[in-house]
């Protein structure tokens, strides 16, 4: 393991670092602009306008940093953003990527109090969800580039981990799934205990809470950000399926039962709020991982995927009650989700130092 000089042989947790909750203040949000047409086969044209709408809303209240391929790509993306984004809150970086999913290939940032290096970037290894989509060498190099560009030290971690596979409450608890983190296509030599220990050492958490399986169509092997999200230190929203004949029913029901049994380290049970899943979203007969849980919490907005579904508005209203100090804005992700991800998958927050 490459140990950053500020750690002086300590783990990030021992040096006082921890991962903030997503609702804590950001200095910016980072994305990698969609460009890989193979991720949206036969339907790439609507993807950039949808991304522009999303970035436009977010840029009203915080800086958005965008990875692009080169100067020509930057010019193209600027044209896409015209009429949507607040240009003063857009910064471009010529960091070429293989794909757009910055939540998974981007740096994960932890912070500590005090003036001495308050922010640290963690560079976990990235293998495109178990080697499913080579090549991924450019994506695996992004975390260190992000850190260097904002003058933040970077700590390399020899463990495969995607940001979409973890969810923290900023107070010591981390949620994840067995289907993803215990999958042998990620870290076959690591036991469950070793994985938990590494998460605690790197992210400054003191407990790891496990759910089971993810939703149908999720090629990430069950990322938590399509299932269950913290909206407060002791509260989660989780997607449920009421239709017993739906292929998501059993896995989501089992996760719901687990949530009722989970407790925080101080003994408090989790408060659980339910979000009804949308009707199946399909493309050419394939079920897509459409989930309302893939929302993103900005400084002053919450951006929630919508799918032209009767459950869009009830779920938006639920999130509005959870975040009364933020505008909750629905973004149509019917086309975006063909790439097997949505708003949270596209983003990575950088906390304020």
> Which residues does the annotation mark as catalytic?
345
Q: What is the pLDDT of residues 1-14, one digit of tens each?
A: 456 778 988 999 99
Residue 104 has pLDDT above 60, yes or no: yes
Q: What is the pLDDT of residues 267-294, one digit of tens each?
A: 999 999 999 999 999 999 999 999 999 9
182 found inside a domain: yes
19 found inside a domain: no
Residue 329 has pLDDT above 70, yes or no: yes
Asked whether 244 and 250 are in contact (CB, 8 A), the reply is no
232 found inside a domain: yes
The two structure tokens encoding residue 184 = 């042998």
338: which DSSP letter?
G
Tell me what the mean pLDDT of segment 159-165 comes to. Answer: 98
Tell me what the mean pLDDT of segment 204-214 comes to. Answer: 98
Confidence class for position 193, pLDDT limits 50, 70, 90: very high
In this prediction, residue 264 carries a pLDDT of 97
Contacting residues for 352 by C-beta, under 8 A, at least 6 apart: 24, 25, 26, 27, 111
In this prediction, residue 6 carries a pLDDT of 83
In this prediction, residue 1 carries a pLDDT of 42
Question: Rounded CA gap, 28 and 15, in Å?
Answer: 24
Residue 47 has pLDDT above 80, yes or no: yes
Counting Cα atoms < 13 Å in the Cβ hemisphere of 270 gives 26
8 found inside a domain: no
Question: Rounded CA gap, 175 and 226, in Å?
Answer: 12
- Nearest C-alpha neighbor of 149 from the set 56, 66, 77: 66
Output the average pLDDT for the chain: 97
Characterize 252-291 residue by residue with b for buried, 16 or more Cβ atoms within 10 angstroms of its Cβ, and e for exposed: beebbebbeebebeeeeebeebbbbbbeebebeeebbbbb
In this prediction, residue 3 carries a pLDDT of 60
In this prediction, residue 41 carries a pLDDT of 92
118 found inside a domain: yes
CATH code where residue 287 lies: 3.75.10.10
302 found inside a domain: yes
Q: Percent of the chain scored above 90 by pLDDT?
A: 96
In this prediction, residue 82 carries a pLDDT of 97
79 found inside a domain: yes
220 found inside a domain: yes
Q: How many helices (H) and strands (E) in the chain? A: 11, 18
Tell me what the mean pLDDT of segment 135-145 comes to. Answer: 98
Number of domains within the chain: 1
pTM of the prediction? Answer: 0.97
Long-range Cβ pairs for the range 67-70 (8 Å, 24+): 67/30, 67/31, 67/32, 67/33, 67/93, 67/95, 67/96, 67/97, 67/102, 67/142, 68/33, 68/92, 68/93, 68/94, 68/95, 68/96, 69/35, 69/94, 69/96, 69/97, 70/94, 70/96
In this prediction, residue 33 carries a pLDDT of 98
Range of the domain at 92: 26-351
The two structure tokens encoding residue 15 = 């040096």
Q: What is the pLDDT of residues 11-30, one digit of tens each?
A: 999 999 999 999 999 999 99
Question: Rounded CA gap, 178 and 31, in Å?
Answer: 27
Quick check: helix, strand or coil at residue 26?
Answer: strand
């Amino acid at each position: 393991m490459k140990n950053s000089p500020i750690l002086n042989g300590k783990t990030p947790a021992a040096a006082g670092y921890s991962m903030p909750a997503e609702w804590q203040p950001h200095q910016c949000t980072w994305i990698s602009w969609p460009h890989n047409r193979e991720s949206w086969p036969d339907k790439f044209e609507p993807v950039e306008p949808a991304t522009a709408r999303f970035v436009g809303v977010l840029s009203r209240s915080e800086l958005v940093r965008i990875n692009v391929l080169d100067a020509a790509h930057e010019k193209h993306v600027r044209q896409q953003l015209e009429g949507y984004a607040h240009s003063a809150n857009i910064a471009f970086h010529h960091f070429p990527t293989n794909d757009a999913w910055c939540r998974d290939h981007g740096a994960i940032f932890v912070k500590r109090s005090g003036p001495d290096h308050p922010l640290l970037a963690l560079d976990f290894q990235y293998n495109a969800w178990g080697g499913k989509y080579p090549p991924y060498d450019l994506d695996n190099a992004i975390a260190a580039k992000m850190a260097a560009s904002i003058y933040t030290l970077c700590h390399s971690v020899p463990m495969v981990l995607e940001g979409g596979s973890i969810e923290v409450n900023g107070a010591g608890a981390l949620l994840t799934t067995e289907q993803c983190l215990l999958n042998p296509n990620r870290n076959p030599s690591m036991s469950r205990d070793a994985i938990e220990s590494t998460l605690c050492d790197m992210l400054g958490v003191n407990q790891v809470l496990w759910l089971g399986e993810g939703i149908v169509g999720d090629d990430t092997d069950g990322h938590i950000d399509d299932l269950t999200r913290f909206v407060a230190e002791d509260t989660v929203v989780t997607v449920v399926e009421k239709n017993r004949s739906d292929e998501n029913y059993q896995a989501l029901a089992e996760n719901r039962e687990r949530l009722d049994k989970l407790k925080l380290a101080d003994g408090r049970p989790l408060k659980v709020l339910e979000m009804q899943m949308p009707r199946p979203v399909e493309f050419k007969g394939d079920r897509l991982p459409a989930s309302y849980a893939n929302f993103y919490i900005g400084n002053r907005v919450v951006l929630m995927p919508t799918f032209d579904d009767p459950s869009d508005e009830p779920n938006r209203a639920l999130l509005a009650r959870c975040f009364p100090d933020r505008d909750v804005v629905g973004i149509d992700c019917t086309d975006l989700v063909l790439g097997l991800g949505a708003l949270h998958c596209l983003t990575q927050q950088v906390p304020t130092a």
